Structures are given as C-alpha cells and as structure tokens.
Structure 1
C-alpha cells in the first residue's frame, strides 16, 4: 500500500461508504458522472464543435480517459508538469491554456515532442515569449505549435487589443520553429451586470480576429483552432461561430472542465443560467462529487463539529453544503435529509455546523457534503473513490497534483 493511499484512506472495490471507508473521503457518484460525460459531449457535438476538457479541474487520469472514451478531441491542461502527467497516462493531444515560460518547462515539453504522435499547442501573448520559444525549440531542432491568446483589459493573460494580436502574428512568423495553429480566449474573467453582453462582444471579436488572420495567411493549419469557454459560458461561445457563418473554416474547441463532476454551488448556479438561455436543453448537469465525513463532536446544543476542514474541501466559493446523514455501519444505507443544517466556518481539520431544529445527530454519524468549485476540492486529495447507487466502491482513483 502506498503512503499516499494510507494518508487519506485506501479503498477496495465492494467497500461500503458507511461501513468500510476511512472518512473523510472524496466521493464521486458514477451515475451522475456518466450522465455528465454524455451530456457535455452531446452538447458540444450538437454545437458543431470539439471538446477538450480542462484537466486541471480534477487531475485524475482515470477521468481523462473516460472523457476521451466519450469522444473528447483532446485534453486541456494548465502547465508543463500537468501536461507531462497526462502524457504519462496516455493522453496524446493537449492544449496548454497558458504561455510556456521558463527553460525547464520548455524542456519538459520538448522531451514529449520527440514523440511524433503527441499533438501539443500552447499559448503566447507577448513578443518576448515568442522570441524565447522560437530560439529554444530551434536549438532543439523541434517545431512548436503556438496559439495567440486574446484577453480583455483588466482580465487575465492575453493580448489586450486586436492590433496586438496582429503584431504578435508577425512576430511568430519571424520564428521558423514556431507554427501558428490558432487563437484562444478565456471569457470567464468577464463579470458584472452586463456579463452576457460583454462575453458575446468578446466572442465576436475573437472569431473576427480568427477570420482576419486566416485571410492574411497567418495560420499553419488549413483549418485553424479557435478555442474559448470555461465551465460557465460555453453555450454563448458555441453560438458565435454560427452567427458569423464561419464554422466550416475553423476547428472550434470548447474546454469546460468542472462539468465532469459539476457541483452544488457556483456551477450549479451557472448551469441554471445556461438552461434559462437554452430552452432546448431539457436537463442539465448533475452534481457528482461529495465529501463524506463524521460528526466528530457535539459540544453544545444545536452545534456540531465535523471531521472535515480546509484540507479536505473547497471553501473559496462558499461553504460545503450538508446533504444527507447516514448511520455508521448500517447497510443498506438510508440517508436522511440534513440540507437545513448549515456549515458556518471551516478550520484546517474541522467544520462548524449549525444543526437545524428537529435534526438529531450523534457523534460518529456520517454526513455527505456537496461542494462549490470542484477544482479546489480535488486538489486536497491524492486518492478518491467512485461509488455506485448502492454506495459501494466501484474503484478508487488517484490524482496527480
């Protein structure tokens, strides 16, 4: 047994969550997971696009393979190290949705590029990075596929104007080792009361730039990649290609990541907005991930301390949501609704929970919790378990953080 498995509990197929699994535990429900995989792949395919899910959400190679088996075109990753982890587990097409900066990181990618089956594209947004990449990969005798990143003022990375994009395309053309394969943008940093109109305007500009660059002959591909979309606004991005009637000219790639397990918080809210905008979608994504933990102490009436804290669950986008209470060791397990209870604070290893009137809890009881922002729950764990509807473990999985 590995040290990682010991640290947060090793599970075996057939183990039951309320009887055999060391808690707290990261839990994914297989039925909801399978629904989400099929739902998003169908949505993207019906939109005439390809799916490159952002793997940084989970960094679970077993989930990467499930996504690819369901039809994903490739995977999106954030760093060279993440890319190496995905490659080691069989992923052979990667969009790295960041600039590749620093010689040690360039060396990681260069090593994988010696495999002719590895299709890799990274972002660039500044002439200095273009020059550094061009010189490094030329010295290695390798070609590197790059995509121009287009951003918004006050946002994250990316060229801040259409003029900067065109100038950067010229800088790329001056580097023989670099091949311009597309253009990328990230709309998730556009917020506020006018977010929808702002995102539509950004998408319009992104596609218009792609057309201009293609007409200029700037791309190394006959069908260049145009990619955007996080986990909240993928529907608006998908629509823009049809509006400008250029879908056949480009390979449009959407890259949401959190959809794979969804959540009980910010992405649940975002999904409601998607369904409001798209009345043709009869059902949305389902929350598939939970953290299960024991009631550790009942020191005062109406107050419970849960054996789960900042090291186990995300807290950046809202507190964990109590879902059900289970009696420890009782199989078959019948959960009791405890959603009226409220987590008010989390410490390193403890959560404070107000117990709703009429809810009877005991020390040792098991509570399932929903989370908000799955990325920052996954990264707390080295192992987790996939469970069936009977709450028995189907398989355990490892993360690669």
Structure 2
C-alpha cells in the first residue's frame, strides 16, 4: 500500500493523461511549444546583444525550467533570497546571482554552506554596514564572498543613490579581505515618471558610466567585471546600453529577465508589445505559455457562471481572462467560444463570469483555460506545474520550490 501511495503521489497516474479527462482541476499548465520558443528566443536575443543571460528564477522557482534555460545557454540563474538559492543549488544550479542584499546571519550561513559546497555565488550590497557585516561573517568562515554594488534611484527601493555613496562603498569593500567587488547591479523597473523610457535609458547609461569609472580606478577585483540589470519589460533598452563600446571586451554584461519564460496575458503582453514597437527588427516575440484550467461548477442564474478557480489558484493583480472552453472528456481540437465572457470578481476558490446574451451552450463541468497577468503570482500558488503538449497530454509534472 505504501509503495502504491508513493507512486501515486509522484504523479504517475497523471503522466500521459489529458487535461480534459483524468486530471484533477484546477491545474496550472505550461504549454510545451510556447515554452520552448520563449527559452530559445530570449537566449538568442541576449547572445545577439553580446550579453549573458541569468534568468530570474523567482518567477517560477521550478528547477525543471531552470535546467531548460541553462541547457539553452544561460550563464546562471538569478534569485532573490537565500532559501531560494539553497533550493536552486540543491537542484543542480551551480552559478547563482542573488539580486538582493544578503542580510542576517542565518541567511549568511545558508550562503556560506553553498560556497563550501562549490557554488559560484554573487550578491549585492548598498551600505557600509551590510558590507562590514558580510566581511566579518565570511572572514570567520574562511570564505570570500563576491559582491556587486547596487545602483538605485531616488524614490526607488534599495541601491546607492549617488556617485559619492558608490565610491565610498567601494572603499569599504576593498577594506574587507573576505569581500571581492566583482561588478555593479541595477534594476530599471524602479525608474518611473512621465517618460519612463527616457528615464531608463538615462539610468542604464549611468550604470555603464559608473562601471567604467570604477574599472579605471582599479576598484574591481576581477577582470571583466559584471554589469547587470534588466527585468522582463525593458530588457531591450538595457541590452542596447550594455552593447555599447564602453563595455565591449572589458565587462561581462548580464541580463536578468524572468517572466519571459512563460510570458503572460496581461502586464508582460503589454510590455512585449512595447518592446516590439521599439524594436520592429525583432521577429515574432514571446508567446504566453502559462494557463490555469478550471471547471464551471455552477450556473446559478441567467448570465452568470461560477468557475472553480480562485485567488488561491491564479494571480489576480489583474483579473484572469477566459481564453478557451472545452467539454469534459472532449477533444482538444474542439474548443468552444468564450467570446464575451467577462471575469467580474474572484474569491478564494470561486471566479464570477458574466456570460453574454445568447450563451446557451455552457454546461456545468465545462473546462475553461484562463490566462493571468504577472506569472510570478500564479506559480507561487502551486506545488507542481503540468507540462502539456499541443493535444493537452500531460508530459511532465514539474515541482516548485517556494
């Protein structure tokens, strides 16, 4: 009995099943074709711009996806917290860029253990105090920690606010034998204003200029120091700035988009449209790969469907979008219309859908594929993600590590 239970827990009963029959819904689903396209597309983009790719793993926290990115040529994986780094390393990721400050001795101990096991690890600093804390801790462990100075903006979150702070911090790092200054880090997503593109281009140029100045002053401990930025909305602007002459052959430019791997039907679809508007030479662009499948559970009154999908199942900073509908146990090729369907409200386990007039063919049990905005906030609700092919057959169960 225990052996059988373990086999079922590993998901053997779902592999080979079809989403329209034999899979408990709701389920978070990644489509194999768009996934492969996105992984290849972004890797090709980075390489064409002379940059390395370190995708932000916090988006998915799914090692099966990390390995697809690494196999395609990614330089490493970016993460945000020490436990995330530990989970990635335990699943075979050996080069980790933590685009965040490493604060607290318990978190430092996690990273020290990874270094002792052979991880190539980088984190960011933006204050004298944090640099001194890190210097003391890692000196006591007999380890050297590679750090990057974070460049921030007024009104943003972390990061040095001006050049004097940067230069002063570089001096403090140099005074700590256990620290090695290996580059600069920034995040353009904190730049706002009436003309964000102009502000981001200015920010990217500043990042490059400071890197060149620190190199000229001999502040970096390694050849070809890292210069890194880029989320999933402005990666084209950052790549163009990094491709310029000041960095070529002297630095290691690293891009860190994360959401591109599955894209979305909201925020990043809009961002990608803007990218293609700025860069019409880029072909096709990214494709949404992440959906959540759920079933109609009630038709309590005319014009209203209640779907067994809620805030615990799908991101909701923007309301989910109904994409396609199927009959349970039907054929994947025979989807039905969801034209005019409007999600009006989402609760913990229920989604309210306003149906258009004349929607007479909706039945309890119908399966609906929903798209969401901001994939990070859907992945973190699931312990497993189902990889499916074009016929909605389950090819793989991919564990998450949130």
Query: How far apart are the structure 2 equivalents of 1:59 and 1:309?
Result: 21
Deviation (angstroms), 1:162:
1.5
Question: What is the CA deviation profile of residues 37-84 of structure 1, one whole-angstrom value per residue up to 9, with x for unaligned ones?
Answer: 000000000010000000000000000000000000000000000000
Q: After superposition, where does 1:165-314 map in structure 2 within 5 Å?
A: 165-314=166-315
The answer for the alignment partner of 1:54 in structure 2 is 56
The answer for the alignment partner of 2:346 in structure 1 is 346
Deviation (angstroms), 1:332:
4.7
**Ranges of 4+ aligned residues in structure 1 off by more than 3 Å:** 1-11, 242-245
The answer for the alignment partner of 1:131 in structure 2 is 132
Deviation (angstroms), 1:196:
0.1
Deviation (angstroms), 1:388:
0.3
The answer for the alignment partner of 1:324 in structure 2 is 324
Deviation (angstroms), 1:190:
1.7
Relative distance call for 1:351 and 1:145 in structure 2 (3 A) is same
Query: How far apart are the structure 2 equivalents of 1:11 and 1:79?
Result: 34
Deviation (angstroms), 1:189:
1.5
The answer for the alignment partner of 2:35 in structure 1 is 33
The answer for the alignment partner of 1:67 in structure 2 is 69
- Which region of structure 1 is more displaced relative to structure 2, 9-18 or 107-116? 9-18
Deviation (angstroms), 1:241:
2.5
Query: How far apart are the structure 1 equivalents of 2:399 and 2:135?
Result: 36
Deviation (angstroms), 1:191:
2.5
- Which region of structure 1 is more displaced relative to structure 2, 139-148 or 349-358? 349-358
Q: Is residue 2:47 matched to residue 1:45?
A: yes
Question: What is the CA deviation profile of residues 116-169 of structure 1, one whole-angstrom value per residue up to 9, with x for unaligned ones?
Answer: 3x2100000010100000000000000000000011111111111121111110
The answer for the alignment partner of 2:88 in structure 1 is 86
Query: How far apart are the structure 2 equivalents of 1:188 and 1:9?
Result: 38
Q: Give unpaired runs (5+ residues) of structure 2.
A: none
Relative distance call for 1:10 and 1:370 in structure 2 (3 A) is farther
Q: After superposition, where does 1:13-32 map in structure 2 within 5 Å?
A: 13-32=15-34
What is the aligned counterpart of 1:99 among 92, 101, 107? Answer: 101
Relative distance call for 1:364 and 1:10 in structure 2 (3 A) is farther
Q: Give unpaired runs (5+ residues) of structure 1.
A: none
Deviation (angstroms), 1:282:
1.7
Task: Specify the SS of the correspondent of 2:112.
Answer: helix
Question: What is the CA deviation profile of residues 5-25 of structure 1, one whole-angstrom value per residue up to 9, with x for unaligned ones?
Answer: 989987522100001110000
Deviation (angstroms), 1:362:
1.0
Query: How far apart are the structure 1 equivalents of 2:110 and 2:243?
Result: 38
The answer for the alignment partner of 1:358 in structure 2 is 358
Does the aligned pair in 2 maintain the 1:23–1:292 contact within 8 Å?
Answer: yes
Does the aligned pair in 1 maintain the 2:208–2:246 contact within 8 Å?
Answer: no
Deviation (angstroms), 1:331:
3.2
The answer for the alignment partner of 2:113 in structure 1 is 111
Does the aligned pair in 2 maintain the 1:11–1:393 contact within 8 Å?
Answer: no
Deviation (angstroms), 1:357:
2.7
Does the aligned pair in 1 maintain the 2:173–2:179 contact within 8 Å?
Answer: yes
Relative distance call for 1:52 and 1:135 in structure 2 (3 A) is same
Does the aligned pair in 1 maintain the 2:43–2:74 contact within 8 Å?
Answer: yes
Query: How far apart are the structure 2 equivalents of 1:60 and 1:235?
Result: 25
* Number of corresponding residues: 399
Does the aligned pair in 2 maintain the 1:307–1:351 contact within 8 Å?
Answer: yes
TM-score by length of 2: 0.96
Query: How far apart are the structure 2 equivalents of 1:5 and 1:135?
Result: 48
Deviation (angstroms), 1:339:
4.3
TM-score by length of 1: 0.96
Query: How far apart are the structure 2 equivalents of 1:54 and 1:11?
Result: 32
